Amino acid sequence: MGTGTRGRPLRVLIVDDDFMVAKVHAGFVAALDGFEVAGTASTGADALAAVQRLRPDLVLLDVYLPDMTGLDVLRRLRADGAPVDVVVISAARDVDSIRSALHGGVLHYLVKPFDRQTFETRLREYAALRGELAALEEAGQADVDRVFAGARGGSRPVPVTPKGIAPETLQLVRQALQLAGSDGLSATQCSERTGLARVSARRYLEQLVARQEADVRQRYGTAGRPERRFTLRVPHRSP
């Protein structure tokens, strides 16, 4: 596990070939106290170069990259002895990928799609783990057990995506709602901003409501039918 420096934010490198997903994850990281975005990379080669150049504490690593897999990147990092921690964030659900990630010493494996709260919980667990290790000079068995329990994290369930709902498109719609803020979007406006057909935009919006990530309300105008508007829920932050 990378050592870092006490008192400074933990630096995170985000590796994902989807620009929009990387942007969303960067926003999540930047909003968390004690973390900062060191950079982003969209290919395996860029990721390896960025680790050398930026010296991040943590890499959020996708498996599906255009030039090599994220697991290849992980193997290269370990072979090079790079002092960096890795959390895999990917839609890859096959057992071989998960097994390879475990063999590569990842701290966690987040399966897309997931909610923002799960993302933030994993990063907070990572920060707590770093703090725990920094405070230890010599570890007894109880300390070791506590540290490894922290590395494994919790066991929150991964949301199940219905057939026909693409995780990447769901993330695109989620981002559109995030940018819209408290005004929210109608299905028509979401369609215009994402390029989806109106019926598809509505389906994805309703899926976010079903996942309790968004709310829907009726807006009554001066004439005609009321307009349904969707807004992204703001996660509750503990004081």
Is the pLDDT reported for residue 8 higher than 90?
Answer: no
In a domain, residue 5? The reply is no
Q: Which two tokens stand for residue 58?
A: 């943590």
In a domain, residue 4? The reply is no
- pLDDT band at residue 169 using 50, 70 and 90 as cut-offs: confident
Domain boundary among 119, 152, 185: 152
Answer yes or no: do 125 and 101 share one domain. yes
Q: Which residues are bridge partners to 13 per DSSP?
A: 39, 59
- pLDDT band at residue 37 using 50, 70 and 90 as cut-offs: very high
Answer yes or no: do 113 and 177 share one domain. no
Answer yes or no: do 145 and 189 share one domain. no
User: Whole domain around residue 98: which residue ranges?
Assistant: 10-152
What is the count of structural domains for the chain? 2
- Which pLDDT score, from 0 to 100, does residue 84 have? 95
Answer yes or no: do 128 and 188 share one domain. no
Cis geometry, peptide bond prior to residue 162 (ω within 30 degrees of 0): no
Domain boundary among 152, 187, 208: 152
In a domain, residue 239? The reply is no
Answer yes or no: do 120 and 64 share one domain. yes
Is the pLDDT reported for residue 5 higher than 70?
Answer: no
Answer yes or no: do 135 and 173 share one domain. no
d(CA 222, CA 237): 37
- Which pLDDT score, from 0 to 100, does residue 225 have? 65
Answer yes or no: do 127 and 32 share one domain. yes
In a domain, residue 162? The reply is no
Answer yes or no: do 147 and 187 share one domain. no
Answer yes or no: do 117 and 223 share one domain. no
Is the pLDDT reported for residue 157 higher than 50?
Answer: no
Looking at beta carbons, which pairs linking 30-39 to residues 24 or more positions away fall under 8 Å? 32/120, 32/123, 32/124, 34/9, 34/10, 34/127, 35/9, 35/10, 35/11, 35/123, 35/127, 36/9, 36/10, 36/11, 36/12, 37/11, 37/12, 38/11, 38/12, 38/13, 39/13, 39/14
In a domain, residue 160? The reply is no
Fill in the amino acid letter for 108.
H
- pLDDT band at residue 79 using 50, 70 and 90 as cut-offs: very high
- Which pLDDT score, from 0 to 100, does residue 168 have? 80
Q: Region 102-108: what's the mean pLDDT?
A: 90
Mean of pLDDT over the chain: 83
Answer yes or no: do 62 and 110 share one domain. yes
Q: Region 74-85: what's the mean pLDDT?
A: 94
In a domain, residue 217? The reply is yes
The answer to whether 229 touches 184, Cβ cutoff 8 Å, is yes
**97 vs 220, which has greater pLDDT?**
97
Answer yes or no: do 171 and 208 share one domain. yes
CATH at residue 209: 1.10.10.10
Q: What are the C-alpha distances in Å from 85 to residues 12, 64, 189, 192? A: 10, 19, 40, 40
Answer yes or no: do 189 and 83 share one domain. no
Percent of the chain scoring above 90 in pLDDT:
43
Lowest mean pLDDT among 32-46, 162-176, 216-230: 216-230
CATH at residue 49: 3.40.50.2300
Q: Region 37-41: what's the mean pLDDT?
A: 97
- Which pLDDT score, from 0 to 100, does residue 137 have? 60
In a domain, residue 238? The reply is no
Domain boundary among 152, 183, 212: 152
Closest to 7 in 3D by CA, of 173, 167, 134: 134
In a domain, residue 62? The reply is yes
